[in-house]
Amino acid sequence: MHLNRTASTALMACALAVSAAPAPGAAQDRPAPQAAAVHRLADVPYGPHLRQRMDVYLPARAATAGRPAPVILMVHGGAWSLGDKARGGVVREKVARWAERGFVLVSANYRLHPGADPLQQAQDVAAALAAVQAQAARWGGDAGRVVLMGHSAGAHLVALVNAAPAFAQRAGAQPWLGAVALDSAALDLPALMAAPHPRFYDRVFGTDPAFWRQASPWHALAGPVPPLLLVCSTERADASCGPAEAMARQAQALGGRAEVLPQALSHGEINAQLGRDGGYTRAVERFMASLDAQVARTLGF
């Protein structure tokens, strides 16, 4: 399908708006308030760069019968070039829902483009995972019960790490339970780059097809990998459910488990509303509960 210049410009503006941070002053652009039942450790380093920092939200109570708490590692979006771990739309509802129920919730920054390309950003996510696992015990968390989660560009990075465990192994990470990718259209990058697409993809991923394949979660799949839930918006102009379904089929064909969860929410709402009580949050929780009995108990299943 060919787009005229007006439609292409509108699509690019839409993609930038939903992938990048909200306008200053928007409610989800403000730092998330700290809940009374949660203690926040701010800017914990996992590398030497100033962007290699994470915020750790600790539950005030033990997860279940004094056992170590499961951990959620959240990776923000922002077109690989923007965004921050502390924005309300990234963590507010998730902390209120899951940290207060007994999870350790970690929200990580990573180096941004143009200072780092998406492969280097995926290495940052892997390094953050390894650091979370190394420090989980001192936070009351369980290094063996980590769920990866990311939105938009962060969903691409999480899907890539989940599809290519060598990223995490090289960083010293242990196995994790699975991953939740919140609305990324960048799952099969060669296909994305060959079709009409917003220009920011060209700035971030360049023009080298070999690099596209290296940074493509679909192409990284080579065998069974940790379970993956792909949440996709049915409201996006640049549809993300088609790439999500293709990614799930490929993972399944290679002996893995992958599920697609379409939602009639905007790209931004898929992130900001996750954690609010309702069918969407409960569907994501059912996936997480299926990964591990301790996670299920912490969620109240």
Q: Which two tokens stand for residue 229?
A: 């839930």
Whether 12 shows a pLDDT value over 70: the answer reads no
What DSSP state is assigned to residue 63?
S
* pTM given for the model: 0.89
Q: What is the pLDDT of residue 237?
A: 85
The answer, yes or no, to whether the previous bond of 114 is cis (omega within 30 of 0) is yes
Residue spans of alpha helices (H) in the chain:
5-19, 88-94, 118-135, 153-163, 166-170, 189-194, 200-205, 209-214, 217-220, 241-253, 267-272, 279-291, 293-299
Domain locations along the chain: 5-17+27-299
Q: Closest by alpha carbon to 181, among 236, 230, 125, 113? A: 230
More confident residue, 61 or 245: 245
- pLDDT value of residue 298: 95
Q: What confidence tier does 5 reach under pLDDT thresholds 50, 70, 90?
A: very low
Please tell me the predicted confidence (pLDDT) of residue 207. Answer: 97
- Compute the C-alpha angle 204/209/210, nearest 5°: 100
As a residue count, the chain comes to: 301
Round to whole Å and give the CA distance between 217 and 213.
8
- Give the torsion sign (CA, 165, 173, 110, 257): positive
Per-residue tokens: 220? 């990284």
Strand partners, 41: 56
Closest of 70, 37, 33, 36 to residue 55, by C-alpha: 33
* Coil vs helix vs strand at 40: strand
Query: How far apart, in whole angstroms, are the C-alpha atoms of residue 121 and residue 132?
Result: 16
Fold category of 5-17+27-299 in CATH = Rossmann fold (3.40.50)
For position 35, what pLDDT does the model report? Answer: 54
Alpha-carbon distance of 254 to 248, in angstroms, equals 10
Q: Which residues pair with 53 in a beta bridge?
A: 45
Distance CA 127, CA 180 (A): 18
Question: 10 Å Cβ neighbour count for 49?
Answer: 14
Phi, psi (degrees; rounded to nearest 5) at 271: -85, -55
Q: Is the pLDDT of residue 253 over 50?
A: yes
What secondary structure letter does DSSP report for 136?
G
Q: Please give the order of strands across the beta sheet that includes 228-233.
A: 38-45, 53-59, 104-108, 69-75, 141-151, 178-182, 228-233, 258-263
| Residue 42 three-state SS | strand
Instruction: Report d(CA 220, CA 85) in Å as an integer.
Output: 26
Of the given ranges (14-18, 178-182, 219-223, 255-259), which has the lowest mean pLDDT? 14-18
pLDDT tens digit sequence for 91-139 = 999 999 999 999 999 999 999 999 999 999 999 999 999 999 999 999 9
The owner of tokens 């963590």 is 91
The pLDDT of residue 60 is 80
Q: Do 255 and 227 touch, CB atoms closer than 8 A?
A: no
